[in-house]
Each structure stands twice: as structure tokens, then as C-alpha cells.
Chain A
Amino acid sequence: DIRMTQSPSSLSASVGDRVTISCRASQNIDNFLVWYQQKPGKAPKLLMYAVSTLESGVPSRFSASGSGTDFTLTITSLQPEDFATYYCYQSFTTPYTFGQGTKLEIK
């Protein structure tokens, strides 16, 4: 199985800050990388797919980059609604796998 490792596991930031979350795959997944946002008690929400394609309706303060094994999600000018847990996911091959999550908390 492809192991997805996120860092950091948790992160404290303030409204207006810029934050970056990293995701590393245990083998090359080309550009088959997806990002999700999950808030407590809710299902994950699709943010981005194919590394950097923004899902419809997702604000442009979210961006992402990477290829192969190393990927990043960046949120510029954090808003109160952005505090949540973020997961990366590889859609390259079965079994599809998620990162362990990065919890973004308010400082």
C-alpha cells in the first residue's frame, strides 16, 4: 500500500496567517493527489484534485502544488471557517489511501 505522511500533525495559526501543510507519498503517485477538509461531526469536503485543481466553490485562498512524492497545500489569509482537519489522499492506485490528517487550530 502507498503510505501518505502529512506534516505537521497539528498546527496553530491566527486569522490572516498563511499556512502550509505537507504530504509525502511512499512512492511516486504522479499527480494523483487530492486534498480534503473535515470539520468536527461532518464528512470530509473535497478541496482540490489532480494536485492543484480547485474544486468548484472552494475559495482561491487555497492552493496546492507538487508532483511525484512531495506535495503541499497552502492557505493564504486564513479565515475563521478554515480551522479544520486537512487530509491528503492518493488516487493513483488501489488501495486508495489517506494521510493521517493535519489539525489546524486557532492560536
Chain B
Amino acid sequence: EVRLVQSGAELKKPGETLKISCMVSGNVFTDDWIGWVRQVPGKGLEWLGNIYPGDSDTVYNPSFQGQVTISADKSIATAYLHRSSLTASDTGIYYCARHRTGSGWYPDYWGQGTLVTVSS
């Protein structure tokens, strides 16, 4: 079974940089799209973007393009989400998820979530 394990909770100050990781096992890492979804109080679930680790092809939500960077390290089957210049509105839970293809793209296996708190 596919398993995604994310890095631990983060407490950041406004303006700081965030990088969270997602280690994937149980699949061929380079053959699946891995994406990031965030859950922010009051804004629900938001898809941020996906990466195909096989060739590092990325697709971003235009609302977050330029604000987040998704990357992957094939050698350790790990995907990353990078966000600079954090603000309080970035506070929330960030999930990585394997995205199944076939009827569009949709998350099927999810990580446990990483709580990110941005506060001065």
C-alpha cells in the first residue's frame, strides 16, 4: 500500500520560509503524481499543485503560482513544498497526497498532514 509520511509541525514567524517534506513508499515514486493540498480555517481545502517526480514536471494552482515551489528528490522518494515570505494567512494544515490519474487527477493516498502556524 502507498504510504506518505510528512515532516513535523512547524512554528514560523511572518516573513520566514517554510519547507516541508513528504516521504513516499509502497509505489514507484517516479511513476506517480504527488500533490499538495492545504486546509486553512475559513477557506477549506485548496489544491496547491502537483509534481511528477519522474521528470520533475510541475503543475500549479495559478492562485499559488510564484508563491509556492514543489520539488522532489527521486533518490529518497521525497517530495517537498517550499513557501517563502510566510504570512499569518498561511497558517493551516498542509497535506501531501498521491494523485491518481484516469478520471482526472484526484488524491487517493494522503499524508498525515503538517500543521503550520505562522505567528509573531
| A92 to B97 Cα, complex, angstroms | 18
| A70 to B43 Cα, complex, angstroms | 22
Given contacts A98-B44, A98-B46, contact A55 B108 (CB under 8 A): yes
Asked whether A89 is an interface residue with its Cβ less than 8 Å from the other chain, the reply is yes
Task: Decide if B59 touches A49 in the complex (CB within 8 Å).
Answer: no
| A98 to B106 Cα, complex, angstroms | 11
Task: Decide if A96 touches B47 in the complex (CB within 8 Å).
Answer: yes
Count residues of chain A with CB under 8 A from any CB of chain B. Answer: 26
Task: Decide if B61 touches A95 in the complex (CB within 8 Å).
Answer: yes
- Which range contains the number of B residues in contact with the other chain? 20 to 34
Within 8 A of B (CB), among A1-59: 1, 31-32, 34, 43-46, 49-50, 53, 55
| A32 to B105 Cα, complex, angstroms | 9
Residue of A nearest to B46 (CB): A98
Q: Give the interface SS of chain B, mostly helix, strand, loop or mixed.
A: strand
Q: Give the interface SS of chain A, mostly helix, strand, loop or mixed.
A: loop
Task: Decide if A89 touches B63 in the complex (CB within 8 Å).
Answer: no
| A2 to B42 Cα, complex, angstroms | 18
Task: Decide if B106 touches A89 in the complex (CB within 8 Å).
Answer: yes
Looking at the complex, which one of A44, A50, A53, A90 makes contact with B107 (CB distance below 8 Å)? Answer: A44
Minimum CB–CB distance for B106 against chain A, Å = 4
Minimum CB–CB distance for A48 against chain B, Å = 10
Looking at the complex, which one of A43, A99, A101 makes contact with B95 (CB distance below 8 Å)? Answer: A43
Task: Decide if A46 touches B107 in the complex (CB within 8 Å).
Answer: yes
Q: Please encode chain B, from 46 to 84, with 1 for each CB lying within 8 Å of some chain A CB and 0 for all others.
A: 110000000000010111000000000000000000000
- Chain A residues with a Cβ under 8 A of chain B: 1, 31-32, 34, 43-46, 49-50, 53, 55, 87, 89-101
A44-B110, A89-B106, A99-B44 given; 5 more Cβ-contact pairs under 8 Å: A34-B104, A91-B103, A91-B106, A95-B62, A96-B105
